[in-house]
């Protein structure tokens, strides 16, 4: 178990912080630690609920790169709930859009960006 923990800390770039208290880590690193804990269970599906919430632009970009890396390395399907559209469009291969709990669109990022129902629901129309 110790070796596996070290391996995961290295994979999420937290090995140097292994003796730190989780609450003392910067926000972005806390998110990485949360994901490392999830990876320890060897999931095939990783659920991420607003992982970019509260992050600055640099942390958000690093998070997006990190999610792509772990997706490939651990052969994961990632189910992402996120309101930060740069993150959604930047890492998603398939998107489902809900409006008040009702599915209004499903498709690839470019399809979602052009979908009139999505534009109306999230941007409004004049």
Buried b (16+ CB within 10 A) or exposed e, 30-63: ebbbebbebbeeeeeebebeebbeebeeebbebb
Closest CA to 26 of 50, 1, 62: 62
Tell me, what's the pLDDT at 39?
Answer: 92
Percent of the chain with pLDDT over 90: 56
Q: Tell me the pLDDT tens digit for each residue of 87-100.
A: 999 999 999 999 99
Tell me, what's the pLDDT at 126?
Answer: 60
Residue boundaries of the structural domains of the chain: 2-82, 93-126
Please tell me the pTM assigned to this model.
Answer: 0.79
CA distances from 64 to 7, 39, 40, 47, 98 (A): 21, 17, 20, 15, 22
Tell me, what's the pLDDT at 54?
Answer: 85
- Looking at 3.40.50.300, 3.90.1150.10, 3.40.710.10, 3.40.50.1370, the CATH number of the domain 2-82 comes to 3.40.50.300
At 98, is the secondary structure helix, strand, or coil?
strand
């Amino acid at each position: 178990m110790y070796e596996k923990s070290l391996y995961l800390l290295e994979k999420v770039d937290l090995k140097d912080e292994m003796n730190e208290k989780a609450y003392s880590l910067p926000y972005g690193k806390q998110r990485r630690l949360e994901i490392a804990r999830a990876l320890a269970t060897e999931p095939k599906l990783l659920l991420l609920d607003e992982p970019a919430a509260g992050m600055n632009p640099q942390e958000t970009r690093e998070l997006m790169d990190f999610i792509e890396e772990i997706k490939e390395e651990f052969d994961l399907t990632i189910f992402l709930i996120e309101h930060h559209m740069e993150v959604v469009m930047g890492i998603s291969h398939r998107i489902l859009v809900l409006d008040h709990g009702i599915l209004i669109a499903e498709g690839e990022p470019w399809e979602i960006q052009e979908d009139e129902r999505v534009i109306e629901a999230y941007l409004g129309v004049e």
